[in-house]
């Protein structure tokens, strides 16, 4: 669970969608359309979740987690499930508390600039233990034009993931990509406007596209387009996250707190 929260909390966490609650009602639909409808509803939920997660990306990008301090300088990292020893310019990972079995490394870099500007980041590579094969790079650049960051990598559990973002002239843009449990790549683009509006755009390279538009008050509307006989569909919600999606065939699905009862 900690690995899922880290990887997808930064990159549009799908784990937030597990065990969906909230009251809802489904109009009658033919059995043959239910799988596609559920895929659409799940993707819309992921779009809602990505809006909430998008602005928290930079804070979670260091790979840090709660650690248990041993008698030595090494600490146990719960995310990587390895012992970590601070070294000059980064950290070395070990599979055992005695620090005799190397398991990877993390290295940091920082380049100061003028008037508070900077470039910083890190690289991590895990070569042993439960997360063997995990690798990631993270960078943040603050210059006269604004802030830009990039976080990309591969998880042995989830495959490739990425988050690329910027905050320039008051407009924040976040682009998330990850592989879902079915092996499909999913992409979410989130744009936070200077007027407190938000747009979320989604595509999964195969079935459909989603666009969700939030007002400054949190109400909003959305559209789902694609080749399915259920599409196009429209979505509407209030500031509390209560709303309805209406499919092309007239069937509807309500949701509460941005979650469908599916």
How does pLDDT run across 113-140, given as a tens digit for each residue? 888 889 999 999 999 999 999 999 999 9
The whole domain housing 51 covers 2-260
CB 192 within 8 A of CB 55: yes
Sorting pLDDT into bands at 50, 70 and 90, what band is 30?
very low
Q: Is 76 exposed, middle or buried (0-12, 13-18, 19+ CB in 10 A)?
A: middle
CB 27 within 8 A of CB 215: no
Residue 194 has pLDDT above 50, yes or no: yes
What's the whole-number average pLDDT of the chain?
78
More confident position, 60 or 189: 189
Is the pTM value of this prediction over 0.75?
Answer: no
Q: ω before 70 within 30° of 0 (cis)?
A: no
Among 157, 175, 169, residue whose Cα is nearest residue 10: 175
2's tokens: 């900690």
Structural domains counted in the chain: 1
- Taking the C-alpha atoms of residue 175 and residue 191, their distance in angstroms, rounded to an integer, is 9
Question: What single DSSP character describes residue 190?
Answer: E
- Taking the C-alpha atoms of residue 64 and residue 62, their distance in angstroms, rounded to an integer, is 5
What mean pLDDT is predicted for residues 64-69? Answer: 40
3-class SS of residue 226: strand
Residue 10 has pLDDT above 60, yes or no: no
What mean pLDDT is predicted for residues 195-220? Answer: 86
Residue with tokens 């989604």: 202
């Amino acid at each position: 669970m900690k690995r899922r929260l880290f990887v997808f909390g930064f990159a549009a966490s799908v784990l937030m969608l597990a065990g969906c609650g909230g009251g809802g009602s489904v109009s009658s639909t033919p059995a043959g359309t239910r799988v596609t409808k559920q895929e659409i509803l799940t993707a819309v939920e992921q779009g809602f979740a990505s809006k909430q997660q998008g602005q928290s990306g930079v804070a979670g990008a260091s790979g840090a987690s709660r650690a248990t301090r041993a008698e030595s300088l090494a600490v146990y990292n719960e995310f990587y499930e390895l012992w970590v020893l601070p070294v000059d310019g980064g950290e070395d990972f070990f599979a055992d508390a005695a620090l005799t079995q190397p398991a990877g490394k993390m290295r940091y870099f920082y380049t100061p600039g003028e008037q508070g500007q900077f470039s910083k980041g890190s690289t991590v590579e895990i070569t042993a233990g439960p997360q063997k094969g995990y690798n990631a790079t993270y960078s943040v650049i603050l210059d006269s034009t604004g802030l830009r960051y990039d976080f990309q990598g591969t998880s042995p559990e989830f495959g490739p993931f990425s988050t690329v973002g910027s905050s320039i002239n008051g407009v924040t843009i976040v682009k998330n990509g990850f592989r879902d449990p079915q092996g499909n790549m999913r992409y979410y683009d989130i744009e936070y406007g200077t007027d407190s509006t938000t747009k979320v755009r989604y595509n999964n390279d195969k079935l459909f596209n989603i666009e969700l538009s939030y007002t400054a008050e949190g109400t909003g509307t959305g559209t789902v387009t694609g080749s399915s006989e259920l599409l196009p569909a429209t979505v509407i919600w209030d500031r509390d996250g209560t709303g309805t999606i209406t499919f092309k065939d007239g069937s509807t699905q309500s949701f509460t707190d941005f979650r469908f009862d599916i």
